[in-house]
Structure 1
Amino acid sequence: MLIIVTYDVSTETAAGRRRLRRVAKVCEGVGQRVQKSVFECKVNAMQYEDLERRLLAEIDEEQDNLRFYRLTEPSDLKIKQYGNFRSIDFNGPLVI
């Protein structure tokens, strides 16, 4: 499934800035950044639950905001993009 993860972490304190870096690192390990605090992730149900658990362990629910959007397939009919950013084709060949 394709999901969108968005977050807003309070960075007013040093602890908040550390939380922001840890949240971003978790998301970078699973998906691709499409904006500063927005990631697209292609995951199965187990990976989704693991990602949600790991992110909930990092945020402070009193100060931060975390949202998950589950998109239905086919995503190419539901997502329009404009501008110079082009997302990774998850179904295409992997080039390293």
Structure 2
Amino acid sequence: MLVIVTYDVSTESSAGRKRLRRVAKACERIGQRVQKSVFECTVNEMQFEQLERELLAEIDVNQDNLRFYRITEPVELRVKQHGCFRSVDFEGPLVV
């Protein structure tokens, strides 16, 4: 399944800046960054639950915002891209 992860972490304190880096690193391990605080992640149910638990452990629910959007199939009908950035199609042929 395709999951869009978005977050807004308060960076007014050094603890907030550390949280922001940890949230970004966790998202980078499983997905691809499509905007500064937006990631596309192709995961199964178990990976999704693990990512959600990891991110919830990092954020401060009183200061930060974390959102997950589960995109149902077929993805090509649900996601439209405009502009110069093109996401990687991990389901397509891999050219090295």
TM-score bracket, shorter-length normalisation: over 0.9
Give matches, 1:72-87, under 5 Å. Answer: 72-87=72-87
Q: What residue is the counterpart of 1:53 in the other structure? A: 53
Amino acid of the structure 1 residue aligned with 2:8? D
Tell me by how many angstroms 1:92 deviates: 1.5
Q: What residue is the counterpart of 2:69 in the other structure? A: 69
Tell me by how many angstroms 1:95 deviates: 4.4
What does the per-residue CA deviation read over 1:35-81, in whole Å, with 9 as the maximum and x for residues that have no partner?
00000000000000000000001000000000000000001011110
Mean Cα deviation higher: 59-68 or 85-94:
85-94
Q: Distance in 2 between matches of 1:55 and 1:8?
A: 12
5+ unaligned residues in a row in structure 1: which ranges?
none
TM-score (norm 1): 0.97
Amino acid of the structure 2 residue aligned with 1:69? Y
Residues 95 and 60 from structure 1, CA distance in 2 versus in 1: closer, same or farther, beyond 3 angstroms? Answer: farther
Give matches, 1:7-26, under 5 Å. Answer: 7-26=7-26
Amino acid of the structure 1 residue aligned with 2:11? T
Number of residue pairs the alignment of both structures matches = 96
Amino acid of the structure 1 residue aligned with 2:29? G
For the residue of structure 1 that corresponds to 2:30, the secondary structure is coil
* Runs of 4+ residues over 4 Å off in structure 1: none
**What is the percent sequence identity of the aligned residues?**
75
For the residue of structure 1 that corresponds to 2:47, the secondary structure is helix
Amino acid of the structure 1 residue aligned with 2:15? A
